[in-house]
Amino acid sequence: MSDKRIKSALISVFYKEGLDEIVRVLGELKIKIYSTGGTFSFIRDMGIPAEPVESLTTYPAILGGRVKTLHPSVFGGILARRENPEDMEQLLKYQIPQIDLVIVDLYPFEETVARIDDEEEIIEKIDIGGISLIRAAAKNYRDVLIVSQSSQYAGLLDLLRARSGVTSLEERRTYAAEAFKTSSNYDTAIFRYFNRKEGIDAFRESINTSYKLRYGENPHQKGKFYGDLGKVFEQVHGKEISYNNLLDIDAALGLIDEFEETTFVVIKHNNACGVASRPDPGEAWKDSLACDPVSAYGGVIVTNVTIGEKEAAEIDKIFFEIIIAPGFSDRALEILMGKKNRIILRRKEKVTDPSYFRSVLNGVLWQDRDTSTEMAGDMKPVTPRVPGENELTDLVFANKIVKHSKSNAIVLAKGRQLCASGIGQTSRVDALRQAIEKARAFGFDLKGAVMASDAFFPFPDCVQIAHDAGIRAVVEPGGSVRDQDSIDYCSANGMAMVFTGVRHFKH
């Protein structure tokens, strides 16, 4: 028989919010309640009949509360198969009552880790009895309903009221699946905490929050995002964020976070097509757009300063999908919200996982996130002519951009403004030629500009082409067996070259 009437319940929860309504309904349905510690006191204070779990175990809670429910009289009543005569005979023999409903809310391990560094207190927040109750009840879902987190209280209330405490097999199986989601997430969090120091070579990741997207990268692909977007930004206005939007937002935030000075960035297909740093936000926007106003169409705009009315009025003149800023003036929002589908995001805290992973073949590729940002002091001159102060500023600026560009990548910059970039090319020479052609197409004079490369030059052809275009300073990681060829050309032609020793491939 798939339908089961709940006759008894075991309740052991950490957070009591919302539990009172459930307890009242259980009382109204004459369901016998067993409970532990603080939960028992909570129920008793409500005036609802309940028995302490000690009435089953005949033992008090021991070891400072570490052991309360770990007893055959508890787990036997949960795990007994009602259709199995031998199981039922053993319950009768040992006077173990059946338990049909288990409600558990685990110790807040993840919240404790996020809040404190005291390992002793963290360890005490590893739930033992609760997690065991969840697994036992979920395993025996054919007979037992398991509620494994407080977020399920509302659903449980509806279930209890709809059929006066009768549940179907399908309902119990659904709750069991949710229970194993809860337990696996909990165990993963504990493992990840311990593995910060131990370094055990195993991949574990668990994210319970998800957003269903309209589709994936293309309309024929399904898509979801797993994570909490609410920690990163507040969506003030606009349509639903898509899969491709999220990729662009990630790229935009990664690049803008490289800059402390007032900066605007325009992103298209995960790459920067406009970047400029200026003391005045309006000038920063104007010069970032000037880099490539064609590609900016339909792009993502991000800045690290509050957007005011003046900037908003200028930005509103072009079509774009998303704008991200730490703040907007009231008038700026009024202007930008004039397009109903335009996505406006107010940036919150910087949230960046120190690791990076993605699925490949039949497994996962994992690596540390590229957090290296080379500043002026990290750039080692390798030519007789060293970069001047302005050139060095531009080299740092260009190197930040090339770090966030798809390889092979070349970035040309001048006066803290992106002139052009060549990205995603199979040849570094092609990337440079693409950048030069693009810069000239938008009227940039490359005389005195600088060049940044995400990886070393295997031959001197790139510095020759750059020199012919007017570029006078170059930053690259170095590391080629033929580095000297490029160094010699730069030295002979009055170009300044610096090495960082850090490659920034991005695929």
Q: How far is CA 164 from CA 24, 47, 78, 274, in A?
A: 13, 21, 21, 63
Check: CB of residue 273 under 8 Å from CB of residue 406.
Answer: no
d(CA 374, CA 358): 26
Taking alpha carbons only, the member of 271, 269, 224 closest to residue 408 is 271
Q: What is the 3-state secondary structure (H, E, C) of 447-465?
A: CCCEEEECCCCCCCHHHHH
Buried b (16+ CB within 10 A) or exposed e, 258-270: bbeebbbbbbbbb
CA 473 to chain centroid: 37
Cα gap 75→72, rounded to integer Å: 5
The residues annotated as belonging to the active site are: 139, 269
Longest dimension (CA), the chain: 97
Tokens of 495: 């170009």
Sign of CA dihedral 88, 92, 95, 101: positive
Specify the DSSP class assigned to residue 221: S
